[in-house]
A and B are shown apart, each in its own frame.
Chain A
Amino acid sequence: MSGRLKLAAFFSIHFLACSSFASAQQQAIGAPPEALNMKLVGSSDLQARSAYQPTIHHQGDRWIAYIGHHGGSDEIPAPVNPQNGKAEPNGTSIVDVTDPAQPKYLRHLPGQEGKYESGGAQMVRICDGKSLPKGDRSAVYMLRTFGGAAHEIWNVADPANPVLVTRIAGLKDTHKNWWECDTGIAFLVSGAPDWRTRRMTQVYDLSDPAHPQKIRDFGLPGQEPGSTGAVPTELHGPISTGPSGNRVYFGYGTNKAGILQIVDREKLLNGPKEPTPDNLRLPEIARLAMSAFNGAHTVFPMPGMPIAEFARDKDGKTRDIVMIVNEAILNECNEPRQMVWFADVTVENRPMMISNYTVPEASGTFCERGGRFGAHSSNESMAPVFYKKMAFIAFFNAGVRALDIRDPYHPKEVGHFIPAITAATDKRCVKIDGKDRCKVAIQTNNVETDERGYIYIVDRANTGLHILELTGPARAVAGLQ
């Protein structure tokens, strides 16, 4: 063979090898999950509904998972509920996970009609009546969104038979609420009709869930009714540290121009409430403006983290950290990488990014697998089992990633789990020369943990719920037996 032929043969073989490697990364039905230091314990198909927020609640001697759903798809706008044989718009799945190896699907509570983010009931939070200052002590309250139209509160003391308590309606959008169970104060992500943004904050006193009391509307100056000029990035979701921490962390943006806003909770609740620019500015302590390339889906506070490296320093041994998770929204890497950032907010008026984390794309050729690749959300439970030690990040087609965050200046991945696809997994498409080219891949959307140390991940592309546990070295990071 001549030298030129050898060269051509080499490139041909290389090309073929690379192609087959890439197609080997495509997920196949029946293939085993991809995992490191994480193990599948149990699963539920969630009636093949696109899933968003899971919230796990210890309810008496049972553990109940409440899972919010996006609206249905073009092909199946209202999947059939096998429990009653009826087509129901996606809403809330209620699953008994007391035995995580054998989850029992209790009830599907329909949501608003509508497809994708326009319907369903994607957000859900739970508070016991006995923890709320004016709640019915025998009740367990579920706060959920009803599409973009309303917030609803249900009594789920009997989780298989929820009873509607109240509804806050007349909105143009909703999203990722926060509810303080010890005070009843709720930071509702709403679209008040007269505001210039689709999503802002409505602060409510839900200490008596049957009688919601509005405290105020809140947002960034420029979003309020009657203002002119540029409209700041819309809200994604807040997390409050309650009266003791006296801070509310607001994340604005999705995959663009994110903002972390640090707010004095007491001034927010008790300051002047008319939504003027000055009144909106008053409770703000600081803002961290992020790159135009990244948004802020989740802003998860971890105050007072001891940093081993700084242990012998006379000052700054502990740091207040906020983990900021971006959200990828476009399929097959058609946007800047959305990832995880850690901000040191110890000096509150000078917050600073200190580190970041992403899944290496080449570790799974994730840009070629189909669907979204990038971060979306983190667990939000502050239960001691994982808090300030480990974080779990939903990373769409890269599954869930377990991070050791004990040193937030140097977060490192210690485990991951990418569920297998099933016949229910929905396709995700991109346009190629004007035509849809579709692939089927897992789309791990949201993640939550419980006090027992189980990790719950749910899929946006209809693959259901997977309950996981840590194994090996990852278990040791959390201090689990």
Chain B
Amino acid sequence: MPRWPFIAFLTVALGALSGAAAYQHAPPRQHEGNGVWQEISWPFPRDGWPAGRAFRCRTAACGGEVELYVRPKMGFCKCDRGVADDNEVDRVADLDLMSQHFAPLAPGDVVHVADMPGRVRAYELRMPDGLQRTAIGLAVSRRCDLLVAVAHGRGDAPEVRRAALASLASREMTRWMMAAMEER
């Protein structure tokens, strides 16, 4: 009895399973936070951590154009202490990807994102082109791992913060962040 039909069936079945798995794990290209966020490509050169995900919101609901960058930093947190103070946010929150020159606008606040505790803080960024931007740096942790986010825009700090936190609180982002923190 020829065996090739069996082999062909197996190949098709494996292909279908792989396709389904890939579809399940594919990141959403657009998600609803507070306003519509469009996913864009990670705009920064390679550094010590793999690229994360980047989004742009151009609607009035975000207070004008806001960009948001999110990524895990595995093993970069003091395991028992977590994100204990604002210095930790200054140090880890990826603000330096946009500019080496930033100054906090106020002390930060405690925040929870995807069930992870941490801190969020507002900054004034001096961009390489000399323009000023408002930025929100955020770092939350689970055990020894960090998840960091930075958002920047031309609006005022409370607006950028509200838009960024709403985006991070969306179901799709929460699901992705939780999955990303499990990947090791």
Q: Is B101 an interface residue (CB 8 A)?
A: yes
Q: Is A182 an interface residue (CB 8 A)?
A: no
User: In A105-123, which residues have CB < 8 Å from any B CB?
Assistant: 114-118
- Residue ID in chain B nearest A291 by CB atoms: B48
Q: Is B100 an interface residue (CB 8 A)?
A: yes
- Residue ID in chain A nearest B96 by CB atoms: A230
Name the one of A115, A118, A292 contacting B48, with C-beta atoms under 8 angstroms.
A292
Can you spell out 26 A-B residue pairs with CB atoms less than 8 angstroms apart?
A4-B3, A4-B4, A115-B80, A116-B79, A117-B79, A117-B80, A196-B90, A196-B91, A228-B101, A228-B102, A229-B96, A229-B100, A229-B101, A229-B102, A230-B95, A231-B91, A234-B91, A256-B76, A257-B48, A292-B46, A293-B48, A329-B75, A334-B184, A335-B74, A430-B184, A434-B182
Of B46, B76, B90, chain A has the most CB atoms within 10 Å of the CB of B90
User: In A423-466, which residues have CB < 8 Å from any B CB?
Assistant: 430-431, 433-434
Given known contacts A4-B3, A196-B91, A228-B104, A330 and B75 CB-to-CB distance under 8 angstroms? yes
Interface bin, chain B: 20 to 34
Q: How far is the CA of A2 from the CA of B2 in the complex (A)?
A: 10
Given known contacts A2-B3, A256-B48, A292-B47, A335 and B79 CB-to-CB distance under 8 angstroms? no
Interface bin, chain A: 20 to 34
Name the one of B7, B91, B103 contacting A228, with C-beta atoms under 8 angstroms.
B103
Of A114, A196, A255, chain B has the most CB atoms within 10 Å of the CB of A196
Interface pair A5/B101, CB less than 8 Å apart = no
Enumerate chain B residues within 8 angstroms of A430, measured Cβ to Cβ.
184
Enumerate chain B residues within 8 angstroms of A198, measured Cβ to Cβ.
78
Q: Is B129 an interface residue (CB 8 A)?
A: no
Shortest distance between the CB of A217 and any CB in chain B (Å)? 15
Interface pair B78/A335, CB less than 8 Å apart = no
Interface pair B81/A118, CB less than 8 Å apart = yes
Enumerate chain A residues within 8 angstroms of B3, measured Cβ to Cβ.
2, 4-5
- Residue ID in chain B nearest A256 by CB atoms: B48
Enumerate chain B residues within 8 angstroms of A298, measured Cβ to Cβ.
none
Q: Is A201 an interface residue (CB 8 A)?
A: no
Enumerate chain B residues within 8 angstroms of A255, measured Cβ to Cβ.
75
Give B contacts to A, CB under 8 Å: 3-4, 7, 46-49, 74-76, 78-81, 87, 90-91, 95-96, 99-104, 182-184
Q: How far is the CA of A173 from the CA of B47 in the complex (A)?
A: 26
Given known contacts A293-B48, A334-B184, A335-B74, A230 and B100 CB-to-CB distance under 8 angstroms? yes
Interface pair A431/B183, CB less than 8 Å apart = yes
- Residue ID in chain A nearest B45 by CB atoms: A292
Interface pair A118/B79, CB less than 8 Å apart = yes
Enumerate chain A residues within 8 angstroms of B49, measured Cβ to Cβ.
256
Interface pair B102/A231, CB less than 8 Å apart = no
Enumerate chain A residues within 8 angstroms of B183, measured Cβ to Cβ.
431
Of B78, B87, B101, chain A has the most CB atoms within 10 Å of the CB of B87
**Closest 5 A-B residue pairs measured CB to CB?**
A292-B48, A230-B96, A256-B48, A118-B80, A228-B103
* 11 extra A-B contacts, CB within 8 A, seeds A196-B87, A234-B91, A330-B74: A2-B3, A116-B80, A117-B78, A196-B91, A230-B100, A255-B75, A256-B49, A293-B48, A430-B184, A431-B182, A434-B182
Q: Is A331 an interface residue (CB 8 A)?
A: yes
- Residue ID in chain B nearest A114 by CB atoms: B80
The 8 A CB mask of A127-147 against B (1 = contact, 0 = none) is 000000000000000000000
Enumerate chain A residues within 8 angstroms of B101, measured Cβ to Cβ.
228-230
Enumerate chain A residues within 8 angstroms of B74, measured Cβ to Cβ.
330, 334-335
Enumerate chain B residues within 8 angstroms of A155, measured Cβ to Cβ.
none
Enumerate chain A residues within 8 angstroms of B95, measured Cβ to Cβ.
230
